[in-house]
Amino acid sequence: MSVETTPETAPDRRIYRLTGADALPFLQGLVSNDVMPLAKADGVVWAALLTPQGKYLADFFVVARAGELLLDISDKLAEATVRRLSMYRLRADVQITPAPDLHVTRGMGTPPAGALPDPRHPALGWRAWGNAGTAPVIDWDAIRVEHLIPETGIELLPDDSYLLEAGFERLNGVNFRKGCYVGQEVTARMKHKTELRKGLVRLRIDGAAPVGTEILSGGKPAGILFTQSGGRALAHMRHDRMDGPLTAGSARLFADG
C-alpha cells in the first residue's frame, strides 16, 4: 500500500460553497450527521441525505475551513443532490454555488497545511480542498476492502441502500442524538427496534466477477458482489445465508476470518 504524501487529485469529486446565515442549520435538518460543531471550529463531517423512507440518496463531506463552508460530493450525484437540497431551501438564507477553483486532494502520511483527517476511518488518510495535485497513485479500493468502507455509486446505491446496513454508524456517518432529519425515523427504528438481517461484509474470493453480480448460497440468492481487491471482496449479504457454498458467476466466495 502506498504512503505517498504528495496531494493526489480526486477527479470524481465536485465542490460547492455554502453561504448564508442559515447554511448549517439548513443542513442540520436534512442530513444524517451532526454538522453544527462546524460552526465553532474547522472540521469535516461525513453525512448522507436520505429519502423519507430512510433510503440512501447521496453522501458527502461538509467541510469548514478558512472561513468557508464547502460540500465535497461525488460528481455522479452532485447535480441531482444540489437540486434536491434547493427544493428544501424555501426561505432559508442559504446559497449553494459551484466552486470550480477548488479541487479535492487526498493522501496518506503527513498532511499538508489545511488538510483534515478523513472522518470515516484513519486508514483513509487526509483530505484537502484547494489546488489540484498529482494523478492518483494510492490503491483506495484495497483500503476500502480491508476496512469495510463503502463507496458512492458502488456499494452505496441511491434509492436502495440503508445507512446502517452500509456501515455508516461504524464509520461516523450518522448521529442518533442530533434530532430530526429526513429519513431519521426509519434509521432510528433500524437501530433500536430491529436486528439487521443484511449488511456489508468482506469475503475472500477465488476468481472474479463484475460489480453487481448476484451471490448465491447453495443456489439461493444471498447478496450482491461489489469491490474486489487482493483476493477479497466487499458484498452486501443476507446474514442467514453466509454459510454457503457461495458463488458469484464463476467466482467462489468464502468467509473472511
161 within domain boundaries = no
Residue 132: the pLDDT is 81
**What pLDDT is recorded for position 7?**
75
Using 50 as the pLDDT threshold, list the residues of the chain that sit under it.
1-2, 4
With respect to residue 155, please indicate whether it lies within any of the assigned structural domains: no
pLDDT of amino acid 154: 97
Give the pLDDT confidence score for residue 194 in this predicted structure.
Answer: 75
Closest CA relative to residue 221, chosen from 210, 209, 213: 213
Among 144, 159, 182, where does a domain finish?
Answer: 144
Query: 187 in a domain, yes or no?
Result: no
Range of the domain at 222: 197-257
Q: Are residues 22 and 118 in the same domain?
A: yes
pLDDT value at position 134?
Answer: 82
Average pLDDT, the chain: 94
- Inside any domain, residue 204: yes
- Report angle CA 149, 153, 156 to the nearest 5 degrees: 50
**How many other CB atoms sit within 10 Å of the CB of residue 77?**
20
| pLDDT for the residue numbered 164 | 97
The candidate with the shortest Cα–Cα distance to 105, out of 121, 116, 89, is 116
